[in-house]
């Protein structure tokens, strides 16, 4: 079933103007009309404070403020609603250490470039419909890893809790 995404807003943070334009076109094809653009992580942080988007799509490799720096600063924001904004990280560098670092910093999803519109739609649909809980780890918040979440419909035995280590 196709999800109506027309009511959400998306911030695209990428230092490549062509990629931002491509994302805008793809998101427009999904029915998303409110798309904001930032050329690096610093601009992205300013826009997220001003526009409060529902989802952020962020490139990993940017300068002077990288996607990793952006995500780290976002997850430490004192406004918890902003700090918990879903982030889909995109990168041409999809090596395992990069993905693991992005997960550790608190992404919701990761997409390798070049971007597939079908996979982007799938990831957007998941972050919009999934009400993923967050944990506070020191000064930062992080989404609970899916592997630590109970399966849909599963009920944990009474009196038993689960420890989650990030």
Q: Which domain holds residue 125?
A: 9-131
**CA 142 – CA 119 distance, rounded (Å):** 23
Residue that the structure tokens 């038993």 belong to: 160
Predicted structure pTM score: 0.85
CATH of the domain at 87: 3.40.50.2300
pLDDT tens for the chain, 166 residues: list them. 688 999 999 999 999 999 999 999 999 999 999 999 999 999 999 999 999 999 999 999 998 999 999 999 999 998 988 999 999 999 999 999 999 999 999 999 999 999 999 999 999 999 999 877 777 788 788 787 766 555 555 444 444 444 333 3
Hey, is 51 helix, strand or coil?
Answer: helix
Q: How many domains does the chain have?
A: 1
**CA 55 – CA 35 distance, rounded (Å):** 10
Q: Is residue 155 part of a domain?
A: no
Q: Is residue 154 part of a domain?
A: no
Q: Is residue 139 part of a domain?
A: no
């Amino acid at each position: 079933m196709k999800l109506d995404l027309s009511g959400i807003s998306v911030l695209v943070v990428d230092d490549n103007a062509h990629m931002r334009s491509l994302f805008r076109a793809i998101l427009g094809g999904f029915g998303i009309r409110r798309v904001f653009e930032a050329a690096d992580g610093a601009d992205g942080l300013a826009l997220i404070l001003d526009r409060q988007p529902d989802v952020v799509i962020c490139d990993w490799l940017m300068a002077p403020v990288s996607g990793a720096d952006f995500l780290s600063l976002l997850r430490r924001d004192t406004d918890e609603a902003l700090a918990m904004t879903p982030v889909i990280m995109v990168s041409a560098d999809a090596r395992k250490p990069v993905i693991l670092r992005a997960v550790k910093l608190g992404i919701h999803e990761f997409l390798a470039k070049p971007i597939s519109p079908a996979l982007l739609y799938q990831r957007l649909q998941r972050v919009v419909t999934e009400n993923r809980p967050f944990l506070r780890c020191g000064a930062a918040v992080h989404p609970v890893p899916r592997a630590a979440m109970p399966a849909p419909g599963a009920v944990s035995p009474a009196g038993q809790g689960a420890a989650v280590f990030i």
